[in-house]
Amino acid sequence: MARRKIIAGNWKMNMTPTEAVALIDELKPLVVNDEADVVFCVPAIDIIPAMEAAKGTNIHIGAENMYFEEKGAYTGEISPKMLVDAGVKYVIIGHSERREYFAETDETVNKKVLKAFEHGLTPIICCGESLTQREQGITIDWIRQQIKIAFLNVTADKAKAAVIAYEPIWAIGTGKTATSDQAEEVCAAIRACIGEIYDEATAEAIRIQYGGSVNGANAAELFAKPNIDGGLVGGASLKPDFGKIVNYK
């Protein structure tokens, strides 16, 4: 069975609530595509107005992060229950910027993944290598380790519903895109790793995105690869170009 494409924007720390509503109003006619899931992952403060602005459209509103506890003395954090109550379905977990600037580790990623599933949220689990790791030839080993830890204690049933975003760190926000062959090689290795952890059916079901300077000009070639089921898009998700990415064919 063909996997449904999923194209998600990661707004990062951009857009005030007012700007978020204006951007959704601008992009909503451009991102119509019945053949793909379209998700805008927005800053926490934008979730509720974005949800309102996206009502009646094909746009799902997602979060960029969440904490792995239900509630309590965790100043500044946002809980899975809060996301669910706001109507969120998707949440990015373990983006490389969270790992680099906010000390997230493979272990905290695993805790968040487990918690997201417990609440019926779909995690978009990020993994990716640095330029040094790529140059040292350890990309696949590194990614396999990230995936194995992220999925610890996750059942096959839940894993099937997960989304993995392969994002080489050297390609994020740099304008340097991995070639479609480089991206496909790693996405295929991720699928094989999921097959080893679980089984063939789980590997076939799970959706794997590529992220790293995706734009309207390179999306078609990347998304045509057999193991690439869409993209996680930073910079270009804030522009009309996102419409071209969603309608890449």
- CA triplet 71, 89, 35: central angle to 5 degrees? 170
8 A C-beta contact, residue 207 and residue 160: no
167 is catalytic: yes
* Stretch in the footprint of ligand PEP (CB under 6 A) among 64-72, 131-139, 194-202, 231-239: 231-239
- 139 touches ligand PEP by CB under 6 A: no
Q: Which one of 60, 95, 129, 184 is the catalytic residue? A: 95
Closer residue to ligand PEP, CB minimum distance, 82 or 172: 172
DSSP class of residue 236 equals G
Q: How far is the CB of 171 from ligand PEP (least distance, A)?
A: 6
Distance, CA of 177 to CA of 167 (rounded, Å):
10
Distance, CA of 13 to CA of 20 (rounded, Å):
11
Distance, CA of 25 to CA of 30 (rounded, Å):
10
Q: What are phi and psi of 34, to 5 degrees?
A: -70, -15
- 120 touches ligand PEP by CB under 6 A: no
Residues 207 to 226 in contact with ligand PEP, rule: CB under 6 A: 211-214
Closer residue to ligand PEP, CB minimum distance, 121 or 214: 214
- 168 touches ligand PEP by CB under 6 A: no
Distance, CA of 31 to CA of 38 (rounded, Å):
7
- Each residue 172-191 as x (binds ligand PEP by CB under 6 A) or -, in order, gives xx------------------
Q: How far is the CB of 163 from ligand PEP (least distance, A)?
A: 13
- Each residue 9-28 as x (binds ligand PEP by CB under 6 A) or -, in order, gives -x-x----------------
Among 227, 182, 222, which Cα is nearest to 206's? 227
Among 109, 173, 99, 185, which Cα is nearest to 147's? 109
> How many residues belong to the site for ligand PEP (CB under 6 A)?
14
Name the site residues for ligand PEP (rule: CB under 6 A): 10, 12, 167, 172-173, 211-214, 232-236
